[in-house]
Copies of this chain bind each other. A is one copy, B any other.
Amino acid sequence: MFENTEKTNIESLGEFGLINHLTKRAEIRHKNTLKGVGDDAAVIDFAGKRALVSTDMLLEGIHFDLAYTPLKHLGYKAIQVNLSDIYAMNGIASQVLVSLGISSKFPLEAVEELYKGIYLACEKYDIDLVGGDTTSSLQGLVISVTALGYADEKDIVYRNGAEEGDLICVSGDLGGAYVGLQLLEREKLVYLENPNIQPDLEGKDYIVERQLKPEARKDVVQLLKDIGVKPTAMIDISDGLASEILHICKQSDKGCNLYEDKIPIDPMTYQTARQFNLDPTVCALSGGEDYELLFTIKQADYEKMKNLADVSFIGYITESSAGRNLVTKSGAVHEITAQGWNAFKKND
């Protein structure tokens, strides 16, 4: 099929490398394109109002395993994952388009379950389903969602606005979605070996839900608005804290110091990670899929923020030459490297 003599394995580039490689040629021709590739969402000007647009695709066998993913949860998650990108721009999410590729193994009732989750997410997050495309697939389920939102220009938060001295904040807690996935994968193996054994997820609801039914942090965006704090930079955590803080640092041309002991990890996440012989900090840094918001604020805003129950201060922004560092509990300093969830490296 491809007669090129030179062939490059896509894995060698990784997802970000591939995207960078493919989009470096992207030219901007329309003056209403204010932000193209390279942030959580594109920003498009419509008569002074800013439209935010983002899209994410979920593929069976890559992003989800129907052995343990209820279709209703999957529909819910497919929407959340996309809304999260709009919130990460400090925008108001308002519409989604949903495209489905469905193989013949799925009866109508299965697709209805999926849509129940989609509608539940739309209802709960005040979203209009405005379009999409539905087709058959040769194999497996494909879900592609595009989310739209809006914001005034003065409210939009990009990844590139972090300044030296800014505090690094994260909502909720991290690593739970990844540890929840390990648990589900283990129970799947147990089940495959002996279908009579029921899954042992007793008392693990929280981390299982973090994996199967994440919630985009619309509430955090609203909270920040209420207390009059506009982050200087923001991104959602889909690929893990390490990968995301590097995006902010790189695009802001800054460094950072993150403190291991400040990274919020739920006790159940911690304890279950230990049972799997996983380092809870590594799960938080590289696990991904938490869909929390990572953002930076001016130090002057600390007083307004310090009593928020659901936001942790995990470090601060430095000048670029100081590097991007993790200060461990023992005081050692490590350079942060992105070992986030990589759809190419994980599934080859």
Using a CB–CB cutoff of 8 Å, the interface residues on chain A facing chain B are 1-2, 4, 6-11, 13, 15, 18-19, 21-23, 25-30, 32-33, 35-37, 41-42, 44, 46-49, 51, 53-57, 59-63, 66-67, 94-95, 97, 99-102, 104, 106-113, 115, 119, 122-123, 126-140, 142, 144, 146, 148, 150, 343-344, 346-348
Q: Tell me, in angstroms, the Cα distance from A31 to B274 when the chains sit together.
A: 49
Q: Tell me, in angstroms, the Cα distance from A120 to B326 when the chains sit together.
A: 44
Q: Tell me, in angstroms, the Cα distance from A139 to B62 when the chains sit together.
A: 10
The verdict on A62 contacting B137 (CB below 8 Å), with A42-B131, A128-B33, A132-B55 known, is: yes
Q: Which residues in B have their C-beta under 8 angstroms from that of A44?
A: 51, 94-95, 130, 148
A129 B60 Cβ-Cβ under 8 A: no
A136 B344 Cβ-Cβ under 8 A: yes
The secondary structure that dominates the A interface is mixed
User: What is the total number of copies of this protein in its complex?
Assistant: 2
Give the nearest-CB partner of A15 in chain B. Answer: B134
19 extra interchain contacts, Cβ-Cβ under 8 A, other than A44-B148, A135-B344?
Answer: A2-B110, A4-B107, A9-B108, A23-B129, A33-B94, A33-B128, A36-B131, A42-B97, A44-B130, A51-B51, A53-B95, A61-B137, A61-B138, A62-B137, A97-B146, A101-B142, A133-B144, A136-B343, A142-B144
Q: Which residues in B have their C-beta under 8 angstroms from that of A66?
A: 1
The verdict on A10 contacting B94 (CB below 8 Å), with A37-B129, A47-B49, A128-B29 known, is: no
- Determine how close the nearest CB of chain B comes to the CB of A259; give it in whole angstroms: 32
Q: Which residues in B have their C-beta under 8 angstroms from that of A127?
A: 29
Q: Tell me, in angstroms, the Cα distance from A119 to B126 when the chains sit together.
A: 35
Q: Which of B21, B27, B49 contacts A128 (CB 8 A)?
A: B27
Q: Which residues in B have their C-beta under 8 angstroms from that of A130?
A: 26, 33, 35-37, 42, 44, 53
